[in-house]
């Protein structure tokens, strides 16, 4: 790559580019135009490498992976791309000469809200790691016009505003009209005999949607690899529109046009729960069909190999079940377009596809009603039916008379299409995202499949990219690490383990404490500016940031805070270590309990922050619109990482890893990746509390838990529960939460874990009192965070599942 040699060259190119783009003098540029100018300059720099990367892959016929995900939560790209190509400093200096600060330009970029939470952010970390490791791998998703809603808090309540993230254009994308494909919906499909006695499928009266790809470069870290994230947009096909119009039905024509445009208009505001909408199914098939068609076309044109060898050159990964239709869609292409026999097509499909499960919450398991599925995707339905028939025949042959077996592995059952079952059956690899989660899949959720295909199952513990979450988010800490152990960890995060050698060194720990303080100051400044609130940087910053969900138990956290408040009120002379509790996260728009939790947090926060008797010791804040960029400000400033989901419920969690990488101590349950975090760092460097997954499971299976008993036996709980409904919290009522905790027997064991949670907090305060000990733990956490780099995760996927190798560009 021909880079800007120095700031003078940067300034020269910037000036030329800005003139061409905006036709005005530099001094008249808006900050947003400055941002866009640099983005286009970076595009220019990488364009040759981008073309070259694809050429080299094709020349070498390298095996490639396509990572299909209904979400990619990218975050801003300007700074990470500058860091990736090693030009951040030159850019900063050049801008400074021209009168701008890079720090003011960066926030001009809007976070593309193309994801909800962990699943989408994982996909973004994964493509970052693929490029960093020079692996041939690309992302495939939808270019939603509106991302996840923007969250405002009004009177303590969540208000959802549309996230029109594309208003000012998106300089990182390239529209590729020449690569558009058509996707078919509706109509009718049936089998008919051909002249030579075979069966062929007829699909007629369907309507066509044009899928147009927008490509975003995924730039490798200090290498020449530029992979592609391909985002599909739905457009109406002019021919179809004109046909309707010439047939004289204007209403039908406009309905067609509107329906088509809806397909890529909104990202669904759900995280782990699914409310089965027709449009969502359309989105899933749209992404899958467009993606697969373009992969097959590229394979035939550039690799010029037989479709019988498809799986030797192509791996397809499905990020949870939202892209599970790749299984029948690849079958359709192989059967109908390539004329393959069923057995061959099935064999190739299973060898190509691999599946990751991200949840065991039963309500989050995707199922579609058969009538809806059939009317929307008639040809795909015929194929799914055939897959199911052949499969159940096989199962009944293997386990005669065992209808339970058949039921628990069926794809079509009870009038529904079971997407997880389709995914397991149609792939050669199934993995969970943390050890405990993979074990639960084998033991319960997918147990029957596991008995039939034990070798198909494995674990791939999640990871996060240390490039964004440490190097970019926390340059102060990154520099300190360089100083202590050299900078090799930037390329190989496992080298962070060398920090153990300085983790008891007082001089180092003092510097670590200074860095933490500096990051708390940066956050405090932001909070002062945005909320006009002062937070004390010598208080413990205790942070819970993630989607709001009953199983994640933000309720446990806020009830703990409320109890602390009552304790302080009842004991005016009591002095506790000052605490700042920060929350952030969005609630799905239709999720009443989650929204009421937000309200509770805000009302309690208000009550506490205004109370002069306690607000020197206690401060609570709910930060609006938690997203990737806000995360980059919060993780570096945290002392305590709240990871308090009900054991067995959080598949992995990935925020836990971002916190530890930035030196926060985990306060958590034995759930998801917390289990591995605390195994790596040692029990003495995290604080673990609460029921274990087996205990939770036991209560579910055999009963024996009554939240009313907790209410009767623990006066603290009684006081808290009463306060939810008696108006004592600023006159507000929280009936829905009260019901969930008491009348519906506290499904997530908030009250059961309450006492242990309070003790865990006491333990945190006790440990924080010894600063040297605290920062020793902090250092140990950073040292072990190398294991939780997505580079490690991706290497495991690459060697165990995809069988792909690095390619030097």
How many whole angstroms separate alpha carbon 448 and alpha carbon 421? Answer: 10
Q: Compute φ and ψ for 750, nearest 5 degrees.
A: -65, -50
Nearer to ligand GPU, 117 or 560 (CB): 117
437 belongs to the catalytic site: no
Q: Which of 321, 573, 547, 529 is nearest to 425 (CA)?
A: 321
Nearer to ligand GPU, 593 or 650 (CB): 650
Q: Which of 37, 207, 272, 557 binds ligand GPU (CB under 6 A)?
A: 272
Q: Which stretch binds ligand GPU (CB under 6 A): 230-238, 357-365, 595-603, 799-807?
A: 357-365
Which sign, positive or negative, has the C-alpha torsion 662, 667, 673, 675?
positive
Q: Which stretch binds ligand GPU (CB under 6 A): 111-119, 201-209, 283-291, 499-507?
A: 111-119
Q: Which of 64, 283, 445, 462 binds ligand GPU (CB under 6 A)?
A: 462
Q: Which of 118, 136, 328, 690 binds ligand GPU (CB under 6 A)?
A: 118
How many whole angstroms separate alpha carbon 565 and alpha carbon 576? Answer: 11
Q: Rounded to the nearest 5 degrees, what angle is found at the Cα of 607, between the Cα atoms of 605 and 610?
A: 100
Q: Which of 654, 666, 669, 793 is catalytic?
A: 654
Residue with tokens 């309720």: 555
Q: Which of 121, 367, 467, 547 is catalytic?
A: 547
Helix H or strand E segment including 280: helix 278-298
Query: Minimum distance between the CB of residue 662 and ligand GPU, rounded to whole angstroms?
Result: 18
Q: Which stretch binds ligand GPU (CB under 6 A): 483-491, 508-516, 651-659, 716-724?
A: 651-659
Nearer to ligand GPU, 422 or 564 (CB): 422
Q: How far apart are the first and last CA of the chain?
A: 11
**Contact predicate 651/459, CB 8 Å:** no
How many whole angstroms separate alpha carbon 622 and alpha carbon 616? Answer: 18
Query: Minimum distance between the CB of residue 751 and ligand GPU, rounded to whole angstroms?
Result: 23
Q: Assess 119 for contact with ligand GPU (CB under 6 A).
A: yes
Query: Minimum distance between the CB of residue 391 and ligand GPU, rounded to whole angstroms?
Result: 24
Lateral strand order in the sheet of 412-413? 367-369, 416-418, 412-413
Q: Which of 280, 546, 579, 586 is catalytic?
A: 546
The count of other CB atoms within 10 Å of the CB of residue 78 is 22
Helix H or strand E segment including 68: strand 64-68
Q: Which of residues 670-699 bind ligand GPU (CB under 6 A)?
A: 672
Q: Which of 76, 127, 72, 36 is nearest to 628 (CA)?
A: 76
Q: Which of 672, 631, 599, 793 is nearest to 272 (CA)?
A: 672
Nearer to ligand GPU, 311 or 671 (CB): 671
Query: Minimum distance between the CB of residue 366 and ligand GPU, rounded to whole angstroms?
Result: 8
Query: Minimum distance between the CB of residue 67 and ligand GPU, rounded to whole angstroms?
Result: 13
407's tokens: 């039921």
Q: Which of 36, 654, 740, 789 binds ligand GPU (CB under 6 A)?
A: 654
Nearer to ligand GPU, 289 or 462 (CB): 462
Strand, coil or helix: what is 199?
Answer: strand
563 belongs to the catalytic site: no
Q: Which stretch binds ligand GPU (CB under 6 A): 102-110, 115-123, 290-298, 477-485?
A: 115-123
Query: Minimum distance between the CB of residue 184 and ligand GPU, rounded to whole angstroms?
Result: 27
712's tokens: 């009767």
Q: Which stretch binds ligand GPU (CB under 6 A): 148-156, 648-656, 714-722, 733-741?
A: 648-656
Q: Assess 650 for contact with ligand GPU (CB under 6 A).
A: yes
351's tokens: 């060898």
How many whole angstroms separate alpha carbon 466 and alpha carbon 657? Answer: 10
How many whole angstroms separate alpha carbon 138 and alpha carbon 217? Answer: 10
Q: Which of 752, 740, 544 is nearest to 644 (CA)?
A: 544
Query: Minimum distance between the CB of residue 671 and ligand GPU, rounded to whole angstroms?
Result: 9
Q: Which stretch binds ligand GPU (CB under 6 A): 113-121, 303-311, 334-342, 588-596?
A: 113-121
Q: Assess 320 for contact with ligand GPU (CB under 6 A).
A: yes
Q: Which stretch binds ligand GPU (CB under 6 A): 592-600, 621-629, 646-654, 785-793?
A: 646-654
Q: Which of 552, 579, 619, 776 is catalytic?
A: 552
**Contact predicate 216/226, CB 8 Å:** no
Q: Rounded to the nearest 5 degrees, what angle is found at the Cα of 72, between the Cα atoms of 71 and 74?
A: 150
Q: What is the CA radius of gyration of the chain?
A: 27
Nearer to ligand GPU, 589 or 745 (CB): 589
Query: Minimum distance between the CB of residue 556 and ligand GPU, rounded to whole angstroms?
Result: 17
Nearer to ligand GPU, 614 or 688 (CB): 688
How many whole angstroms separate alpha carbon 690 and alpha carbon 559? Answer: 15
Q: Which of 651, 688, 780, 794 binds ligand GPU (CB under 6 A)?
A: 651
Cα 431 off chain centre by: 16
Total of chain residues touching ligand GPU, rule CB under 6 A: 19
7 belongs to the catalytic site: no
Query: Minimum distance between the CB of residue 806 and ligand GPU, rounded to whole angstroms?
Result: 24
Q: Which of 652, 669, 707, 781 binds ligand GPU (CB under 6 A)?
A: 652
Query: Minimum distance between the CB of residue 185 and ligand GPU, rounded to whole angstroms?
Result: 24
**Contact predicate 657/631, CB 8 Å:** no
How many whole angstroms separate alpha carbon 578 and alpha carbon 581? Answer: 10
Residues belonging to the chain = 809
The count of other CB atoms within 10 Å of the CB of residue 46 is 22
How many whole angstroms separate alpha carbon 550 and alpha carbon 734? Answer: 14
351 belongs to the catalytic site: no
Site string for ligand GPU, 125-164 (x = CB under 6 A): ----------------------------------------
658 belongs to the catalytic site: yes
Query: Minimum distance between the CB of residue 594 and ligand GPU, rounded to whole angstroms?
Result: 14
Nearer to ligand GPU, 109 or 284 (CB): 284
Nearer to ligand GPU, 62 or 361 (CB): 361
Helix H or strand E segment including 420: helix 419-425
Q: 568 CB contacts (<8 Å, ≥6 apart)?
A: 574, 576, 613, 614, 617, 618
**Contact predicate 495/775, CB 8 Å:** no
Q: Which of 322, 332, 358, 649 is catalytic?
A: 358
Nearer to ligand GPU, 116 or 707 (CB): 116
Strand 540-545 vs strand 640-643: parallel, antiparallel, or unpaired? parallel
Q: Which of 117, 493, 648, 690 binds ligand GPU (CB under 6 A)?
A: 117
Q: Which of residues 709-728 bind ligand GPU (CB under 6 A)?
A: none
552 belongs to the catalytic site: yes
Query: Minimum distance between the CB of residue 774 and ligand GPU, rounded to whole angstroms?
Result: 27
How many whole angstroms separate alpha carbon 553 and alpha carbon 741? Answer: 11
Residue with tokens 């500016």: 529
Distances (CA, A) of 514 to 327, 342, 369, 480, 521: 53, 65, 57, 10, 10
Q: Assess 358 for contact with ligand GPU (CB under 6 A).
A: yes
Nearer to ligand GPU, 284 or 650 (CB): 650
| Residue with the CB atom nearest ligand GPU in the bound state | 118
Q: Assess 653 for contact with ligand GPU (CB under 6 A).
A: yes
Residues that bind ligand GPU (CB under 6 A): 116-119, 122, 271-272, 320, 358-359, 364, 433, 462, 650-654, 672
Give catalytic residue positions.
358, 546-547, 552, 654, 658
């Amino acid at each position: 790559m021909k880079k800007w040699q120095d700031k003078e060259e940067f300034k020269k190119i910037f000036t030329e580019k800005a003139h061409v783009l905006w036709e005005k003098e530099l001094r008249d540029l808006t900050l947003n135009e400055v941002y866009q100018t640099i983005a286009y300059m970076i595009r220019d720099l990488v364009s040759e490498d981008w073309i070259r990367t694809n050429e080299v892959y094709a020349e070498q016929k390298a095996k490639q992976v396509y990572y299909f995900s209904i979400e990619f939560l990218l975050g801003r790209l300007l700074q990470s791309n500058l860091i990736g190509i090693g030009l951040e400093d030159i850019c900063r200096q050049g801008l400074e000469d021209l009168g701008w600060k890079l720090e003011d330009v960066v926030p001009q970029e809007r976070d593309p809200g193309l994801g909800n939470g962990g699943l989408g952010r994982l996909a973004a970390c994964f493509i970052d790691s693929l490029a960093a490791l020079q692996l041939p791998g690309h992302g495939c998703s939808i270019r939603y016009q509106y991302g996840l809603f923007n969250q405002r808090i009004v009177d303590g309540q969540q208000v959802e505003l549309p996230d029109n993230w594309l208003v000012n254009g998106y300089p990182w994308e390239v529209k590729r009209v020449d690569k558009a494909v058509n996707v078919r919906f509706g109509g009718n499909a049936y089998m008919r005999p051909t002249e030579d006695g075979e069966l062929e499928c007829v699909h007629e009266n369907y309507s066509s949607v044009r899928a147009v790809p927008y490509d975003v470069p995924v730039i490798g870290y200090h290498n020449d690899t530029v992979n592609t994230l391909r985002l599909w947009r739905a457009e109406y096909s002019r021919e179809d529109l004109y046909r309707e119009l010439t047939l004289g039905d204007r209403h039908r024509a406009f309905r067609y046009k509107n329906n088509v445009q809806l397909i890529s208009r909104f990202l669904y505001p759900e995280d782990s729960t699914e409310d089965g909408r027709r449009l969502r199914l359309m989105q899933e098939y749209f992404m899958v069909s467009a993606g697969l068609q373009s992969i097959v076309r590229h394979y035939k044109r550039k690799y010029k190999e037989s479709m019988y060898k498809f799986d030797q050159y192509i791996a397809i990964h499905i990020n949870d079940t939202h892209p599970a239709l790749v299984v029948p869609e690849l079958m359709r292409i192989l059967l109908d377009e390539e004329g393959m026999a069923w057995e061959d097509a099935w064999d190739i499909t299973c060898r190509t596809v691999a599946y990751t499960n991200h949840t065991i919450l039963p309500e989050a398991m995707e199922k579609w009603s058969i009538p809806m599925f059939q009317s929307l995707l008639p040809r795909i339905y015929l194929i799914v039916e055939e897959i199911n028939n052949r499969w159940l025949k096989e199962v009944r042959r293997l386990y005669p008379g065992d209808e339970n077996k058949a039921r628990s592995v069926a794809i079509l059952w009870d009038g529904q299409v079971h997407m997880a079952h389709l995914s397991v059956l149609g792939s050669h690899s199934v993995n969970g995202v943390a050890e405990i989660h993979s074990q639960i899949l084998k033991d319960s959720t997918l147990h029957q499949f596991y008995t039939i295909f034990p070798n198909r199952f494995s674990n791939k513990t999640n990871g996060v990219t240390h490039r964004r979450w440490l190097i970019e988010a926390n340059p102060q800490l990154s520099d300190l690490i360089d100083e202590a152990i050299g900078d090799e960890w930037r390329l190989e995060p496992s080298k962070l383990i060398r920090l153990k050698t300085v983790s008891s060194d007082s001089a180092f720990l003092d510097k670590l404490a200074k860095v933490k303080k500096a990051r708390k100051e940066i956050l405090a400044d932001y909070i002062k500016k945005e909320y006009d609130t002062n937070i004390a940087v010598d208080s413990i910053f205790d942070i819970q940031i993630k989607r709001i969900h009953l199983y994640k138990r933000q309720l446990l956290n806020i009830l703990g805070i409320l109890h602390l408040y009552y304790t302080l009120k009842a004991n005016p002379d009591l002095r506790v270590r000052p605490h700042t509790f920060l929350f952030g996260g969005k609630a799905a728009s239709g999720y009443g309990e989650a929204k009421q939790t937000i309200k509770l947090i805000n009302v309690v926060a208000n009550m506490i922050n205004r109370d002069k008797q306690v607000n020197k010791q206690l401060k609570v804040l709910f930060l609006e619109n938690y997203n990737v960029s806000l995360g980059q400000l919060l993780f570096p400033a945290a002392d305590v990482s709240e990871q308090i989901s009900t054991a067995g419920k959080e598949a992995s969690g990935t925020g836990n890893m971002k916190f530890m990488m930035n030196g926060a101590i985990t306060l958590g349950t034995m759930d998801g990746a917390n289990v591995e975090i605390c195994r790596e760092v040692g029990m003495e460097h995290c604080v673990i509390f609460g029921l274990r997954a087996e205990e939770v499971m036991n209560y579910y299976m055999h009963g024996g838990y009554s939240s009313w008993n907790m209410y009767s036996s623990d006066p603290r709980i009684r006081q808290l529960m009463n306060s939810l409904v008696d108006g004592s919290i600023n006159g507000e009522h929280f009936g829905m939460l009260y019901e969930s905790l008491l009348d519906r027997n506290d499904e997530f064991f908030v009250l059961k874990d309450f006492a242990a949670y309070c003790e865990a907090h006491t333990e945190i305060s006790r440990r924080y009192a010894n600063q040297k000990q605290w920062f020793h733990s902090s250092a140990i956490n950073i040292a072990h965070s190398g294991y939780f780099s997505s580079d490690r995760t991706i290497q495991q996927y690459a060697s165990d599942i995809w069988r792909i190798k690095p390619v030097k560009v």
